């Protein structure tokens, strides 16, 4: 070691000793002050920052002030002018100095004044505080007793609550719209299917029918997205392996994104059991990958990975609060244009899109939000302009074995000759259902609501084999109708239909047995198959 090195080391040790001596002196002075003044201990032990301002300058502060502002010691705070601890403007856009003078004037006028303020730490970070100014002393000896309480966490919770309330309100609206659209789509899809059969010898017209069918199918898909966002869609949950689902979708995803985008799929090293509706999670994955593709019109890369994590609290930036536990995290990363803060804050709003008119519905991420919310998970967006975007989907890992695969085969079911009472308040739906049933051999009686149906039942000479009824209707709904019939000694076979599936399960739960339900919109084929199943007791 050179003599110069020895000198440097000696100097550093001297400086360290001087610093230790200074700290010991401050502690000693503090102990003396506390003994002489018991209120000093309260001042020092406060979790809030407390400062004393006299003549426009700081003359004292507690250790919490030092910690809150990220200064090294008390002297640094006291040597700083109060105006240096605020950003140039406040959240309302007003100049900080001008507004501070107004707040101080109000405190001197009323004796104290409480308000919220943005301050700035030593490292430049701006954070919100609740300020309480209290005036003490007489005339020229007046001082300001200042208390700062860091409300960063409170502000974050308030923003989450406001966002949640906004999304809930929009969800209620979306669910109501979807209900009305489902009734219209029953008629559109059903009548177009019937026309296709009737016009099999008119190829010049079949093309137009197929256009109607395609438009109806697309409209039904949009309605399902609305229902998923608003959590009004009926889900069929079972325990599946997220890894296996992703691997099965890989080929489809590659076709979706095209050849100019590299897709990498990396499942977890272990089974990732989650309790979800498989169809909905497929929709989530497809929506996320499609969004990533659209952010890279000139090509790029998409990485989809899955891994397990333990969470003790909700991750920062989460769209939803979640319970601690073990989660499967699916991350979708792209190398696209990225999002700014405003886009991130509105990303899950339905119909919000940054795409050109006609190139996006704005329902992709809102659908993801609704589905993940139903599954008790959360979504986190990480993005920066020109640096790509990552969406992390957190889903609770489920206990228990994986569910067996579903049998999706659905053979053609013949019609019948039974008598069916159709109870539906929407005329277009009632007409379509009646036409389909009669075309397949059934005898149909029509009622516009539950009260009307009771009258028809009492006056009918022929036995009624089944009631096909909407769940929600004016005057008397379907559940109330069936309850009335049972109390009268009639126990018919029943098939409920509903376009507002969030209400249906709750209302059907009033019945003792498991009720059969067909969800709107349905095709004529689906209707006939379901009717036959119920009549056969399947």
262: tokens are 């590299």
Strands 238-241 and 273-276: antiparallel
Phi (first) and psi of residue 265, to 5 degrees: -115, 120
CATH dotted code for 419-535: 3.40.50.2300
Give rounded-to-5 percent helix, strand, coil for the chain. Answer: 45, 20, 30
Sign of the torsion angle spanned by Cα atoms 455, 456, 461, 465:
negative
- Tell me the domain boundaries of the chain: 20-150, 155-229, 238-396, 419-535
Nearest CA among 62, 81, 70 for reference residue 121: 70
Instruction: Check residue 61 and give its pLDDT.
Output: 93
Residue 538, class by beta-carbon neighbours within 10 Å (0-12 exposed, 13-18 middle, 19+ buried)?
Answer: exposed
- Three-class DSSP category at 328: strand
525: tokens are 């084929």
Nearest CA among 68, 50, 62, 66 for reference residue 151: 68
407: tokens are 């049998």
Whole-angstrom Cα distance, residue 377 to residue 330?
11
Q: Which helix (H) or strand (E) holds 498?
A: strand 493-498
Whole-angstrom Cα distance, residue 501 to residue 510?
15
| 106 phi-psi bin (left φ>0, alpha ψ -120 to 50, beta other) | alpha
- Cα-based torsion angle of the residue sequence 198, 201, 204, 207 in order, rounded to the nearest 10 degrees: 50
> Which residues are within 8 A (CB) of 12 and not within 5 positions of it... i.e. 6 or more apart?
none
Instruction: Check residue 384 and give its pLDDT.
Output: 83
List residues bridging with 308 in a β-sheet: 328
Return the ∠ at Cα 239 (arms to 237 and 243), rounded to 5°.
120
pTM of the full predicted structure? 0.44
- Tell me how far apart the 2 most distant CA atoms of the chain are, in Å: 118
CA–CA distance from 158 to each of 151, 161, 164, 377, 474 (Å)? 10, 5, 10, 20, 39
Which overall architecture, per CATH, does domain 238-396 show? 2-Layer Sandwich (3.30)
Instruction: Check residue 359 and give its pLDDT.
Output: 43
CATH dotted code for 20-150: 3.30.450.20
Question: Which residue in the block uniquely carries the two structure tokens 């100014």?
Answer: 133
> Which residues are within 8 A (CB) of 213 and not within 5 positions of it... i.e. 6 or more apart?
189, 192, 193, 196
Whole-angstrom Cα distance, residue 154 to residue 150?
9
Instruction: Check residue 503 and give its pLDDT.
Output: 53
Contacts within 8 Å (CB) and 24+ apart, 125-132 = 125/70, 126/87, 127/152, 128/152, 128/155, 129/49, 131/103
Instruction: Check residue 323 and give its pLDDT.
Output: 85
Asked if 440 and 528 touch (Cβ cutoff 8 Å), the reply is yes
Return the ∠ at Cα 249 (arms to 244 and 250), rounded to 5°.
100
Beta strands (DSSP E) in 397-481 are 419-423, 443-447, 466-470
Question: Which residue in the block uniquely carries the two structure tokens 């640094």?
Answer: 76
Instruction: Check residue 36 and give its pLDDT.
Output: 56
Asked if 309 and 329 touch (Cβ cutoff 8 Å), the reply is yes
Length of the chain: 538
Phi (first) and psi of residue 273, to 5 degrees: -75, 125
| 475 phi-psi bin (left φ>0, alpha ψ -120 to 50, beta other) | left
Instruction: Check residue 362 and give its pLDDT.
Output: 47
> Which residues are within 8 A (CB) of 474 and not within 5 positions of it... i.e. 6 or more apart?
425, 449
Question: Which residue in the block uniquely carries the two structure tokens 């406001």?
Answer: 162
Q: Print burial letters for 214-248: b (CB count within 10 Å at least 16), e (below 16).
A: eebeebbeebbbbbbbbbbbebeebebbbbebbee
> Which residues are within 8 A (CB) of 191 and not within 5 positions of it... i.e. 6 or more apart?
432, 435
Return the ∠ at Cα 474 (arms to 473 and 479), rounded to 5°.
45
358: tokens are 């006609």
Whole-angstrom Cα distance, residue 299 to residue 533?
50
Phi (first) and psi of residue 320, to 5 degrees: -140, 150
Per-residue pLDDT of the chain (538 residues; tens, 9 = 90+): 445 466 777 777 777 777 777 767 766 665 665 555 667 778 888 999 999 998 889 999 999 999 999 999 999 999 999 989 999 999 998 999 999 999 999 999 999 999 999 999 999 999 999 999 999 887 677 899 999 999 988 887 787 677 666 666 666 666 666 667 777 788 787 788 778 877 877 877 887 888 787 777 767 766 665 665 554 455 567 889 999 989 888 877 887 787 889 999 999 999 999 998 787 788 788 888 888 888 888 889 999 999 999 988 888 888 778 888 999 999 999 998 888 887 877 777 765 565 544 444 445 677 788 788 888 899 999 988 888 899 999 999 988 777 665 433 344 556 788 999 999 988 878 888 888 898 888 999 999 999 999 999 888 887 899 999 988 888 888 889 988 888 887 777 899 988 765 555 566 666 655 678 888 877 788 888 889 989 988 6
Beta strands (DSSP E) in 74-190 are 112-120, 126-136, 143-150
């Amino acid at each position: 070691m050179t003599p110069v090195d020895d000198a440097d080391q000696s100097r550093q040790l001297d400086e360290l000793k001087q610093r230790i001596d200074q700290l010991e002196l401050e502690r000693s002075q503090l102990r003396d002050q506390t003994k002489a003044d018991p209120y000093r201990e309260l001042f020092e032990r406060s979790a809030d920052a407390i400062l004393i301002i006299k003549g426009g300058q700081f003359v004292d502060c507690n250790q919490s002030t030092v910690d809150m502002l990220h200064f090294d010691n008390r002297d640094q705070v006291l040597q700083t002018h109060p105006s240096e601890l605020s950003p140039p403007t406040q959240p309302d856009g007003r100049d900080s100095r001008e507004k501070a003078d107004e707040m101080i004037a109000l405190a001197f006028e009323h004796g104290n004044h409480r308000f919220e303020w943005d301050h700035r730490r030593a490292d430049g970070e701006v954070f919100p505080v609740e300020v309480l100014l209290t005036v003490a002393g007489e005339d020229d000896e007046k001082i300001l007793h200042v208390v700062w309480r860091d409300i960063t966490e409170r502000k974050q919770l308030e923003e989450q609550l406001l966002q949640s309330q906004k999304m809930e309100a929009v969800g209620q609206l979306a669910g109501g719209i979807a209900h009305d659209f489902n009734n219209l789509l029953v008629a559109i899809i059903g009548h177009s299917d019937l026309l296709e059969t009737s016009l099999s010898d008119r190829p010049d017209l079949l093309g137009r029918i197929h256009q109607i069918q395609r438009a109806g199918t697309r409209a039904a898909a949009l309605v399902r997205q609305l229902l998923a966002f608003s959590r009004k869609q009926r889900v069929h949950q079972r325990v599946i392996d997220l890894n296996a689902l992703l691997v099965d979708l890989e080929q489809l995803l590659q076709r979706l994104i095209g050849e100019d985008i590299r897709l990498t799929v990396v499942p977890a090293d272990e089974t990732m059991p989650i309790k979800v509706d498989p169809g909905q999670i497929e929709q989530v994955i497809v929506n996320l990958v499609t969004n990533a593709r659209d952010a890279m019109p000139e090509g790029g890369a998409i990485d989809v990975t899955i891994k397990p994590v333990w969470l003790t609290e909700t991750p920062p930036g989460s769209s939803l609060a979640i319970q601690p536990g073990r989660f499967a995290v699916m991350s979708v990363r792209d190398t696209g244009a990225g999002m700014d803060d405003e886009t991130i804050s509105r990303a899950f709003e339905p119909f919000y899109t940054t795409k050109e008119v006609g190139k996006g519905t704005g329902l992709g991420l809102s659908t993801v939000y609704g589905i993940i919310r139903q599954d008790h998970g959360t979504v986190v967006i990480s993005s920066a302009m020109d640096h790509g975007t990552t969406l992390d989907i957190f889903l609770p890992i489920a206990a228990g074995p994986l569910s067996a695969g579903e049998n999706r085969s659905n053979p053609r079911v013949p019609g019948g000759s039974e008598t069916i009472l159709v109870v539906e308040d929407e005329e277009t739906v009632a007409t379509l259902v009646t036409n389909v049933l009669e075309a397949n051999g059934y005898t149909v009686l029509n009622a516009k609501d539950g009260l009307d149906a009771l009258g028809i039942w009492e006056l009918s000479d022929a036995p009624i084999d089944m009631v096909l009824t909407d769940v929600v209707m004016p005057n008397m709904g379907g559940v109330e109708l069936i309850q009335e019939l049972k109390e009268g000694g009639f126990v018919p076979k029943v098939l409920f239909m509903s376009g507002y599936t969030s209400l249906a399960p709750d209302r059907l739960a009033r019945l003792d047995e498991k009720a059969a339900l067909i969800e709107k919109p349905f095709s004529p084929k689906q209707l006939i198959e379901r009717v036959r199943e119920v009549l056969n007791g399947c």
